[in-house]
Structure 1
Amino acid sequence: MSCCGPSRRQVLGLLAAAAMPVAWASPARAQPGSLVVTELEVVTVTEQSAVFTWTTRGPDAAPVEADSEVWIGPADGSGLRQVYGDSRPTAFHYAEVTGLEPGRAYRFETRSAGIPAAPAVNVATRQPNTPESLGVFTTLVPPPGRLLRTLALSNDIHLGEEVSGIITAGLPPGFRQEPGLAPYPEIMLAALLDDMRRPDRAVDHLLLAGDLTAEATPEQVGGVHNRLANWGAAGRDWFAARGNHDRPHLGSDYASCTPYLDHDDCWGDSFSARQQLVSHEVGELRLIALDTTELDIPGGTLDRSQLDELRGLLTADPDRPTLVFGHHPVTAESGWSNLAGPSFILNAANAAELQSIYRSAPGVFLHHSGHTHRNRRTRPDLPIDVEFLEVAAAKEYPGGYTLLRLYEGGYMANFYKTRTAEARRWSTRSRGEYFGLLPEYTLGTTADRNHAVLRDLSGVSAS
């Protein structure tokens, strides 16, 4: 069952331009003269670090294992020096370099078997101004003041899904997990939660903006809730909003769950009731989860009671630093730029009212959404100082989350891919979705993925 795609005409219009078959097999060891070092991406750039990923393949495009190296030097200097080396063979390379200086340009090469990596044959990383094409990136300058809290923004896990990349009516051909390996949503969720506890990410809270399940069966809802509960406490360590895949359903598979009109709501039995706003206060920071789901269509809505409750909360305390998250994007720019069009996001009337509410609440600084499976910042439709940020799916390429580091003088957003061996393997496999065009749509620009915003967040406590 799927409620989440554009029309056949839209699909064919996007995909008719290219078809890129990708060979796939168990990785072999590199042989002299046989290695293609490709799919270079400068995924993450912070004030003092950068993350690079790339793939090594044979002439037949099958994965081939090799070593990993990163060479870096100041862009205004001469020569590169090796700053990262890993002799362990892999076809799915992930290298994180630390100790860089804020606001400085660096030249770089990533290498396997001594061969420099090149970006894939796609526009996303081969445009003239990209770090991948220039061989240069510039570190961010962090906002002033102390680091107060670190939030992780994530969405679109689709636990229980078996085929990834189908948009509508079996098109385009979907991708399945390799035989003998664990289901890919379980791998990607485990990798996400693994990253959340690593000291180099130092995450205080995880925010999940919907589509945690494939179709919200009792098993899927229970499975994702149990995994999150084993990781941390709901309402303290993690916070979740419902996505359209998590909506109430029809059918006998859902009969054991709480009735909702003529549907049954399994999500509501473990998380929160449909069209219910949930507000949390973490110190002086306010987190508001919205349920933007319709019953049987992919687009988004907010009912009157939820809008009124939001208006009341924000009017009563308009200056409190506030982050709002919900599954469906909000802005007109998101509507015309996403693959499925304006009907795929929050309906226009609700979107206009939501942004009008934000205009009267200067404490709201960011609205996080998922649903489009891409990294994208979009402009608000009203002159309001709120960032609208879509975060790429956790469950498929590019497969990750955004860290939001809150400082007294603003915040810094950085997208990270998850990095377990199994996650890197599936992310590379699933980048072949949409006939190989998935990176064009979902990766986003360097600035979509990595940016700093100056803003007074001194009211957010550090503990």
Structure 2
Amino acid sequence: MGRSAPHAHTRTDCCGPTRRTVLAALGGALAASLAQAGTAGAQPHSVIATDLEVVTITDTTAILTWTTVAPDASGRLVPVDADAEVRLGPVDSPLTTVYADQHPTPFHYAQIDGLEPGRPYRFEAWSRGARAVPALNATTLIPGAPESTGRFTTLVPPPGRRLRTLALANDLHFGEEVSGLIVGDLPPGVRQDPALPPYPEVMLDALLDDLRRPDRAADRLLLAGDLTAEASSADSRAVRAKLDRWGALGSDYFVVRGNHDRPHTDSDYAGCAPAPRDHHDCWAEEFTPRQELIEQDMGGLRVLGLDTSDLDGSGGRIERPQFDVLRERLRAEPDRPTLVFGHHPVTVESGLTNPAGPGFVLDRTDSAELQALYERSPGVFLQHSGHTHRNLRSRPDTAYGVEFLEVAAVKEYPGGYSLLRLYEGGYMVNFYKTRTDAARRWSATSRAEYFGLIPNYTLGSCADRNHVVLRDFSGLS
């Protein structure tokens, strides 16, 4: 934890996962999930408090989540209602109860405010007499993880006054009905209870509700692609309508296209705007034309949005006209503080560490050209991407000062967004899960994706989710 310097970073390539790769991964996942279920069932309490995660750590706040379950008549673990308590104190002091919620729920979300910056704390979370423990996954059980040690240290914010707060989000998949599919019907997907609203609506509503609350207070929302499941006219209109009830496109919120938002050739799209090679683009009728750079000034901060979607396929590309406009903008003001957002991750590290491989991220040639532009533009400090549905900071391919940040999906576990808080002396990044009752339920439900292994991949380390970078933004207003 503590202060974090900009990483040195990475690049990309071209082909999706094979059926053999998916089957091999799922075999390992199934074995691990069975082992986890056996361990959980052996705990001594009738109620088991599990899946403990210290999701968010800021300079003054920590947010813990966990779930309470119990065996049903057949011995299967099912969610059960329970109370929630958090005991916390500085590491050199006794624990005291700082959070208590008697409202019964299986899906617990405890936000602890009023902490001191840069101070180490220890903690315990309890429900109905059972102490919450982390699930058996690498993210929360690695040495030093807050969940495994029962300790965390609050961040130290950058110096100077806070300038603004930007929300970074992606992967809404509006219109999707089954979550967690990779190839065909593998692995078995997760569906919403038919008595409840569709999960993409639940999670988008929860995101927009969160961002207007005083403890989040986002000034602007940047959505890095995959707003829809397949860019149909109906889904594009519906997601636009929800976003427009929150704010205005181009002033309150900004969007770029993801691979799920690309033009299609199906007859259902024939009435929409024409696109190359007999495609039709329903998404563009609600948002922006394909492969068009967007630009916005925010008190001296330049925000650039890249359309990295290919005409067909899941990998990313930047076509020549958009590259030329980007080059012109960066060359004109290379030192201007600049944040870039686009759907596809950029770096080699990202390509090698996602299950679909290098072909899932930005094309290698385009990545090299993009990073060469950044090396000549020292004002660029962060690129926000989606697509991989995980929290990760990856390294650029050569040593220069841009942070490449992937943010987990809105639409499924862990179900949230990141806040980028800009100060005169740098910025702080924090990931938040959404917190409505319906969102917490769906996040716990979709945790079962990939045979319960999704937390190992998507949650990200505590430092990926929460970190500070020092940088001079004193010229911004």
TM-score by length of 2: 0.93
Structure 2: gaps of 5 or more residues = 1-13, 36-43
Shift of 1:33: 4.4
Maintained 8 Å contact 1:374/1:442? yes
Q: 2:54 aligns with which of 42, 58, 63?
A: 42
Maintained 8 Å contact 2:16/2:357? no
Q: Amino acid of the residue matched to residue 45 of structure 1?
A: I
Q: How many residues align?
A: 450
1:284-363 matches, within 5 Å, as 284-363=300-379
Maintained 8 Å contact 1:151/1:205? yes
Maintained 8 Å contact 1:356/1:382? no
Q: Secondary structure at the match of 1:365?
A: strand
Q: 1:223 aligns with which of 238, 246, 249?
A: 238
For residues 353-406 of structure 1, give each alpha carbon's deviation from its aligned partner in whole angstroms, at most 9, with x where no partner exists: 101101111111100000000000000012211000000000000000000000
Q: Secondary structure at the match of 1:186?
A: helix
Shift of 1:15: 1.7
Q: Secondary structure at the match of 2:77?
A: coil
1:12-31 matches, within 5 Å, as 12-19=23-30, 20=33
Aligned position for 2:108: 93
1:409 aligns with 2:435: no
Q: Amino acid of the residue matched to residue 213 of structure 2?
A: R
1:34-433 matches, within 5 Å, as 34-59=46-71, 60-77=76-93, 79-261=94-276, 262-433=278-449
Q: Secondary structure at the match of 1:62?
A: strand
For residues 60-113 of structure 1, give each alpha carbon's deviation from its aligned partner in whole angstroms, at most 9, with x where no partner exists: 310000001111011123x20000011000000000001111111100001101
Shift of 1:408: 0.3
Shift of 1:9: 1.8
Structure 1: gaps of 5 or more residues = 23-31
Give percent identity, aligned residues only.
63
Shift of 1:269: 0.8
Maintained 8 Å contact 1:4/1:297? no
Structure 1 residues 220 and 5: alpha-carbon distance in aligned structure 2, compared to 1, 3 A threshold: farther
**Quick one: distance in 1 between partners of 2:423 and 2:171?**
27
**Quick one: distance in 2 between partners of 1:4 and 1:252?**
27
**Quick one: distance in 2 between partners of 1:459 and 1:362?**
15
**Quick one: distance in 2 between partners of 1:13 and 1:149?**
45
Aligned position for 2:475: 459
**Quick one: distance in 2 between partners of 1:158 and 1:310?**
27
**Quick one: distance in 1 between partners of 2:208 and 2:365?**
36
Compute the RMSD of aligned alpha carbons: 1.5
For residues 186-219 of structure 1, give each alpha carbon's deviation from its aligned partner in whole angstroms, at most 9, with x where no partner exists: 0000000000110100100000000000000000
For residues 278-317 of structure 1, give each alpha carbon's deviation from its aligned partner in whole angstroms, at most 9, with x where no partner exists: 1111221111110001111100000111111111001111
Aligned position for 2:452: 436
Maintained 8 Å contact 1:218/1:266? yes
**Quick one: distance in 1 between partners of 2:457 and 2:220?**
28
Q: Secondary structure at the match of 1:314?
A: helix
Q: Secondary structure at the match of 2:78?
A: coil
Task: Give structure 1 regions of 4+ aligned residues with deviation exceeding 3 angstroms.
Answer: none
Q: Amino acid of the residue matched to residue 104 of structure 1?
A: R
Aligned position for 1:26: none
Q: Secondary structure at the match of 2:370?
A: helix
Aligned position for 2:5: none
* More deviation, 54-63/159-168: 54-63
Maintained 8 Å contact 1:299/1:328? yes
Q: Amino acid of the residue matched to residue 263 of structure 2?
A: P
**Quick one: distance in 1 between partners of 2:318 and 2:440?**
36
Maintained 8 Å contact 1:21/1:436? no
**Quick one: distance in 2 between partners of 1:442 and 1:5?**
18
Q: Secondary structure at the match of 1:107?
A: strand
Q: Amino acid of the residue matched to residue 23 of structure 2?
A: L
